[in-house]
Amino acid sequence: MPSFDVVSKLDWAEVANALNQAQKELAQRFDFKGTDAAVERNEAGIVVSASEEDRVRAAIVVLQEKLIRRKVSLKHFEVPKKAEKGPKGSSRIQIKVQEGIETDKAREIVKLIKDSKLKVQAAIHEQSVRVSGKNRDDLQAVIALLRRAESLNIELQYNNFRD
Protein backbone atom coordinates (compact mmCIF):
# COMPACT_ATOMS: atom_id res chain seq x y z
CA MET A 1 0.00 0.00 0.00
CA PRO A 2 1.68 3.24 -1.13
CA SER A 3 2.24 5.95 1.49
CA PHE A 4 4.20 9.12 2.20
CA ASP A 5 4.83 11.49 5.11
CA VAL A 6 3.94 15.16 5.29
CA VAL A 7 6.59 16.94 7.39
CA SER A 8 7.80 20.45 8.13
CA LYS A 9 11.57 20.33 8.54
CA LEU A 10 14.19 23.01 8.49
CA ASP A 11 17.61 22.61 6.88
CA TRP A 12 19.75 23.70 9.84
CA ALA A 13 22.96 23.69 7.80
CA GLU A 14 21.51 26.30 5.45
CA VAL A 15 20.22 28.33 8.43
CA ALA A 16 23.71 28.27 9.98
CA ASN A 17 25.21 29.42 6.67
CA ALA A 18 22.67 32.25 6.42
CA LEU A 19 23.42 33.29 10.02
CA ASN A 20 27.16 33.40 9.28
CA GLN A 21 26.61 35.42 6.11
CA ALA A 22 24.29 37.85 7.89
CA GLN A 23 26.79 38.31 10.73
CA LYS A 24 29.57 39.05 8.23
CA GLU A 25 27.41 41.59 6.39
CA LEU A 26 26.41 43.29 9.66
CA ALA A 27 30.09 43.60 10.59
CA GLN A 28 31.01 45.14 7.21
CA ARG A 29 28.12 47.48 6.43
CA PHE A 30 28.57 51.17 7.19
CA ASP A 31 25.05 51.71 8.55
CA PHE A 32 25.69 49.07 11.25
CA LYS A 33 29.04 50.51 12.45
CA GLY A 34 28.98 51.14 16.20
CA THR A 35 25.54 49.59 16.73
CA ASP A 36 26.83 46.23 18.05
CA ALA A 37 24.41 44.44 15.72
CA ALA A 38 24.55 40.66 16.16
CA VAL A 39 22.66 37.61 14.94
CA GLU A 40 22.99 34.45 17.05
CA ARG A 41 21.30 31.10 17.40
CA ASN A 42 20.27 29.81 20.83
CA GLU A 43 18.09 26.96 22.11
CA ALA A 44 14.89 29.04 21.85
CA GLY A 45 15.51 30.25 18.30
CA ILE A 46 17.47 33.16 16.84
CA VAL A 47 18.38 36.34 18.74
CA VAL A 48 18.94 39.58 16.85
CA SER A 49 20.37 42.42 18.92
CA ALA A 50 21.63 45.97 18.34
CA SER A 51 21.88 49.31 20.12
CA GLU A 52 18.60 50.64 18.64
CA GLU A 53 15.32 49.02 17.64
CA ASP A 54 15.44 50.25 14.04
CA ARG A 55 18.90 48.66 13.62
CA VAL A 56 17.45 45.39 15.00
CA ARG A 57 14.69 45.52 12.37
CA ALA A 58 17.27 46.24 9.65
CA ALA A 59 19.40 43.31 10.85
CA ILE A 60 16.32 41.05 10.64
CA VAL A 61 15.82 42.16 7.02
CA VAL A 62 19.46 41.27 6.28
CA LEU A 63 18.96 37.84 7.88
CA GLN A 64 15.75 37.24 5.92
CA GLU A 65 17.52 38.13 2.65
CA LYS A 66 20.24 35.59 3.42
CA LEU A 67 17.67 32.92 4.29
CA ILE A 68 15.76 33.54 1.06
CA ARG A 69 18.96 33.38 -0.97
CA ARG A 70 19.69 29.98 0.60
CA LYS A 71 16.13 28.78 -0.21
CA VAL A 72 14.99 28.54 3.42
CA SER A 73 11.30 29.38 3.81
CA LEU A 74 10.45 32.33 6.06
CA LYS A 75 7.31 30.47 7.19
CA HIS A 76 9.52 28.65 9.71
CA PHE A 77 10.33 31.91 11.53
CA GLU A 78 7.98 33.95 13.71
CA VAL A 79 9.21 37.51 14.27
CA PRO A 80 7.50 39.31 17.19
CA LYS A 81 6.20 42.86 16.69
CA LYS A 82 7.89 44.33 19.79
CA ALA A 83 11.55 44.41 20.64
CA GLU A 84 12.73 43.63 24.17
CA LYS A 85 14.89 46.14 26.00
CA GLY A 86 18.35 44.87 26.82
CA PRO A 87 21.18 46.18 28.97
CA LYS A 88 22.42 49.77 28.44
CA GLY A 89 19.39 50.71 26.34
CA SER A 90 20.01 48.13 23.65
CA SER A 91 17.23 46.23 21.90
CA ARG A 92 16.85 42.59 20.98
CA ILE A 93 14.29 40.40 19.29
CA GLN A 94 13.90 36.66 19.88
CA ILE A 95 12.78 35.00 16.63
CA LYS A 96 10.92 31.74 17.24
CA VAL A 97 11.78 28.85 14.95
CA GLN A 98 8.89 26.54 14.11
CA GLU A 99 9.89 23.06 13.06
CA GLY A 100 7.59 20.07 12.80
CA ILE A 101 3.84 20.06 12.44
CA GLU A 102 1.96 21.04 15.59
CA THR A 103 -1.00 18.90 16.64
CA ASP A 104 -3.57 21.56 15.68
CA LYS A 105 -2.10 21.94 12.19
CA ALA A 106 -1.86 18.15 11.82
CA ARG A 107 -5.56 17.84 12.63
CA GLU A 108 -6.30 20.57 10.11
CA ILE A 109 -4.31 18.68 7.46
CA VAL A 110 -6.15 15.42 8.23
CA LYS A 111 -9.51 17.21 8.07
CA LEU A 112 -8.57 18.81 4.74
CA ILE A 113 -7.61 15.42 3.32
CA LYS A 114 -10.81 13.74 4.57
CA ASP A 115 -12.99 16.56 3.21
CA SER A 116 -11.47 16.07 -0.24
CA LYS A 117 -13.24 12.68 -0.54
CA LEU A 118 -10.10 11.02 -1.92
CA LYS A 119 -9.68 7.33 -1.10
CA VAL A 120 -6.74 7.77 1.26
CA GLN A 121 -6.16 7.52 4.99
CA ALA A 122 -4.30 10.16 7.00
CA ALA A 123 -2.85 9.54 10.45
CA ILE A 124 -0.87 11.78 12.79
CA HIS A 125 2.58 10.47 13.80
CA GLU A 126 4.37 12.76 16.30
CA GLN A 127 5.53 15.75 14.19
CA SER A 128 4.27 14.43 10.84
CA VAL A 129 1.18 13.15 9.03
CA ARG A 130 1.29 9.78 7.25
CA VAL A 131 -0.95 9.49 4.19
CA SER A 132 -1.61 6.08 2.67
CA GLY A 133 -3.89 4.77 -0.04
CA LYS A 134 -4.27 2.04 -2.65
CA ASN A 135 -3.70 4.29 -5.65
CA ARG A 136 -0.55 6.31 -6.32
CA ASP A 137 -2.60 8.91 -8.25
CA ASP A 138 -4.71 9.59 -5.14
CA LEU A 139 -1.54 10.26 -3.15
CA GLN A 140 -0.32 12.68 -5.80
CA ALA A 141 -3.73 14.40 -5.68
CA VAL A 142 -3.30 14.81 -1.91
CA ILE A 143 0.11 16.44 -2.43
CA ALA A 144 -1.42 18.82 -4.99
CA LEU A 145 -4.28 19.57 -2.58
CA LEU A 146 -1.91 20.41 0.28
CA ARG A 147 0.25 22.61 -1.96
CA ARG A 148 -2.82 24.65 -2.92
CA ALA A 149 -4.01 24.97 0.71
CA GLU A 150 -2.89 28.44 1.78
CA SER A 151 -4.86 28.35 5.05
CA LEU A 152 -2.22 26.08 6.64
CA ASN A 153 0.47 28.80 6.57
CA ILE A 154 3.33 26.36 7.19
CA GLU A 155 6.05 25.05 4.91
CA LEU A 156 5.43 21.39 4.07
CA GLN A 157 7.70 18.74 2.58
CA TYR A 158 6.63 15.33 1.30
CA ASN A 159 9.06 12.51 1.92
CA ASN A 160 9.36 8.82 2.70
CA PHE A 161 7.31 7.83 -0.34
CA ARG A 162 6.81 4.08 -0.40
CA ASP A 163 5.18 2.03 -3.11
Whole-number pLDDT of residue 71: 93
pLDDT, tens digit only, all 163 positions of the chain: 898 988 999 999 999 999 999 999 999 999 889 888 999 999 889 999 999 888 999 999 999 999 999 999 898 999 998 888 878 888 999 999 988 888 888 899 999 988 888 898 989 988 888 999 998 888 888 889 888 887 788 888 888 888 7
Quote the pLDDT of residue 30. Answer: 92
The pTM for the full model equals 0.83
Q: Which fold has domain 3-8+101-162?
A: Alpha-Beta Plaits (3.30.70)
CATH 3.30.70.860 domain extents, the chain: 3-8+101-162
The CATH number corresponding to 12-97 among 3.20.20.100, 3.30.70.1450, 3.30.70.990, 1.10.10.10 equals 3.30.70.990
pLDDT for res 154: 87
- Residue 81: closest CA among 123, 100, 106, 53: 53
Q: What is the pLDDT at residue 70?
A: 93
